[in-house]
Structure 1
Amino acid sequence: MTTGDRRRFAVILAAGDGKRMKSDRPKVLCEVLFKPMIRWVEDACRAAGVEEICIVEGDQSELLRQAVSPACTFYRQAQRRGTGHAVRMAAEALAGGGDVVVLNGDSPFIDAQTINAAYRQHREEQNAVTVVTAHIAAPFGYGRILRDSAGAVTGIVEEKDADTEQKRITEINSGAYWFDAVFLAGALERITANNAQGEYYLTDVLGIALTDGLRAGGYTAPDSNVTLGANDRRALKTLNEIARQREIDRHLDEGVDIPCDDGVVIGKGVTIGHDTLILPGTILLGNTKIGAHCVIGPNSYLVDSTVGNGTRVNASYMTNAFVGENSTIGPFAQMRPNTSLGNGVKIGDFVEIKNSTIGDKTSVAHLTYIGDSDVGSQCNFGCGVVTANYDGCHKYRTVIGDRAFIGCNTNIIPPVQIGEGAYTAAGTTVDEDVPAGALAIGRVRQQVREEWAAKNINFKGGKK
């Protein structure tokens, strides 16, 4: 993207492996609220209007590329030789000039507001480098920001190198920076690995800027969480706890009732209407949309699903499904992908519906499977109904008209149509169309054999 005639782009550092995470995947693919950390960083860049994104990758690049937008450009860091070395891998991008924001792929709480506010300061002060900083109460372990009397940044001192006075400083380096790209490209060629770790540090670029008489600035983020990253599972758990509570607080502020948040996890993309009650053990993820005056939970799991106003979902699963208003789902029901339920629908316990539409005020009370079907309004399903939609090679659809009554333990063998107001008797196997208003009976006629038990069963134990 350009601002005026000035190019803006991002370099995200993502070459770290998962050793300390004890993971087979790159560290940046560990998830916060079920989304990879690097995707949080990419999304923040795009929300800030920074559309040109370069990612410095390490091993397992295929997994990394699957987790981010295909529009990203990738540069490989074959050897891990420090942050300065990582950015140097993207030298081709830096050569195009403009301003570049360098971010860590494992710092998910960087946000668009911070990126843009830091950039404004970067341009207004005409800085060669602008460090994103934050004040924290316990800065132990972090690099401290040194400033002169005018507020310009004069250095970053690491914990191990800080003296007693410097250790009292609470302003720390977040690891996020804006750079003039041309300056950065030249400075990266000048940094050395003359340190105990034998690595090239990006922080050394700041000293080069000051030596060259250029200005270095520091933007202090109002939210210190932008500094947080994760190097192990304990830190990842902390990030998840922070993100989870943020989302819960956001929905509380918007009029959602969460009286006890035990086990409640709500993803960033979820919307919930006012006066909806979220009960313990409920997980809402993806592009899920919940209406007003609903009750969700306890122990419900919804992904990329829509729930209309006034609907209750109790101890049930919904994935890529839609349910209208004033309906009830569960307990112990599963709405699989491409399920669409109308208004006033009742789905009871141990019911599974897949790739089907169910009309308004239809009742499927218990122990039923409906797959690949189009069901009308005001129908009633007895216990134990099954649509046998798959013959081992192909799947077929069932069509059921309005006000049909499907008796207990009916097996429906599609492709068939059951007409409006038609009935199927309990225990019937339907493998032919049923006309509107008709009764289908497809079961063996009952036979009663008198005294059969006495002649065939030894009641003192065992058969004859």
Structure 2
Amino acid sequence: MIEYGRNSLGKGLQVFEPVIVGFPSRERMHQEDYPGVRIGERAVLRSGTVIYCEVEIGDQFQCGHNVLIRERMRIGRNTSVGSSSVIEGYGSIGDEVRIQSMVFVPTHTEIGDHVFIGPAAVLTNDRYPPTGKPELKGPVIGDFAVIGAHATILPGVRIGEGAAVAAGAVVTRDVPSGKMAVGVPATLRDLPAQMRGRKE
């Protein structure tokens, strides 16, 4: 494992080489001493993973191969990130979240607890690209929400607690709790009976 910056790595960390932790952000590139990463206990980092500086990760985190996690990201406990996913930083991911392979999470995104995000889902943060940083606003995903495979969620959209997004949907407006977004552009339906009560 290659380390940059000052890192705090918890007990029982498993690393499958090659892995890089504490990689400097652009603003840290020319500094010799800067905050690295903080990783909790019993985490698993698989080969090809790169974690930038100023990232905090909870206990029992694990990732697939070739995962990129950018700077200033907070990730909770018992959360997993699938192979070839990109987490762009400056946001947060809660506890017991399942992010499948090839998912893109942009900067300024907030993901709650117990969320499921299917493979190749794309979250976005720039409605009229390219704009400057002050204009960027990622989605907000509530606790227990489900995002299907290949779904696209536009900037600033809020997915309510326990709400769902169907596979392949393009979500342009908020999805309230108890609703499901389906289609292109997505329209709202009642949540299927099979998906109700996940919180229990």
Please report the TM-score for the alignment, with normalisation by the length of structure 2.
0.79
Task: State which structure, 1 or 2, has the greater radius of gyration over its C-alpha atoms.
Answer: 1
1:319 to 52, 64, 69: 52
Runs of at least 4 residues of structure 1 off by over 6 A?
A: none
RMSD of aligned residue pairs (Cα, Å): 1.4
Aligned to 1:350: 84
The verdict on how the C-alpha distance between 1:309 and 1:444 changes in structure 2, with shifts beyond 3 A counting, is closer
Residue 289 in structure 1 maps to residue 8 in structure 2: yes
Paired residue for 1:386?
122
Q: Which runs of 5+ in 2 are unaligned?
A: 23-35, 187-200
Question: What amino acid does structure 2 have at the position aligned with 1:291?
Answer: G
**Alpha-carbon displacement from aligned partner over 1:193-246 (angstroms, at most 9, x marks no partner):** xxxxxxxxxxxxxxxxxxxxxxxxxxxxxxxxxxxxxxxxxxxxxxxxxxxxxx
- Distance in 2, Cα, partners of 1:420 & 1:332: 30
User: Following the alignment from structure 1 to structure 2, what is the Cα–Cα distance between the partners of residues 283 and 444?
Assistant: 44
Where structure 1 has 5 or more consecutive residues not aligned to the other structure, the ranges are 1-281, 446-464
Partner residue of 1:374? 110
RCO comparison, higher one (Cα < 8 Å, 6+): 2
Aligned to 1:397: 138
Deviations 1:320-354 (A, max 9, x none): 21210011022110110111110000111011112
Q: Flag the structure with higher strand content.
A: 2
What's the CA shift for 1:356?
2.1
Q: How does 1:54-203 map to 2 (within 5 A)?
A: none
- 1: CA distance between counterparts of 2:76 and 2:153? 22
Q: Deviation per CA, 1:239-295: give whole Å up to 9, x if none.
A: xxxxxxxxxxxxxxxxxxxxxxxxxxxxxxxxxxxxxxxxxxx10121111010111
Sequence identity of aligned pairs in percent?
A: 26
Aligned to 1:268: none
**Counterpart residue identity of residue 362, structure 1:** V
In 2, Cα distance between the equivalents of 1:403 and 1:361? Answer: 10
Is the CA contact 2:121–2:148 (under 8 Å) kept in the aligned structure 1? yes
1:230 matched residue in structure 2: none
TM value normalised by structure 1: 0.35
User: Which residue number corresponds to residue 10 of structure 1?
Assistant: none
Q: How many residues align?
A: 164
Do the aligned residues in 2 keep the contact of 1:302 with 1:319 (CA within 8 Å)? yes
- Provide closer, same or farther for how the CA distance between residues 361 and 350 of structure 1 changes in structure 2, counting only shifts above 3 A: same
Q: Distance in 2 between matches of 1:381 and 1:361?
A: 12
Structure (1/2) with the larger helix percentage: 1
Deviation at 1:444, TM superposition (A): 7.1
Change (3 A) 1:290 1:444: closer
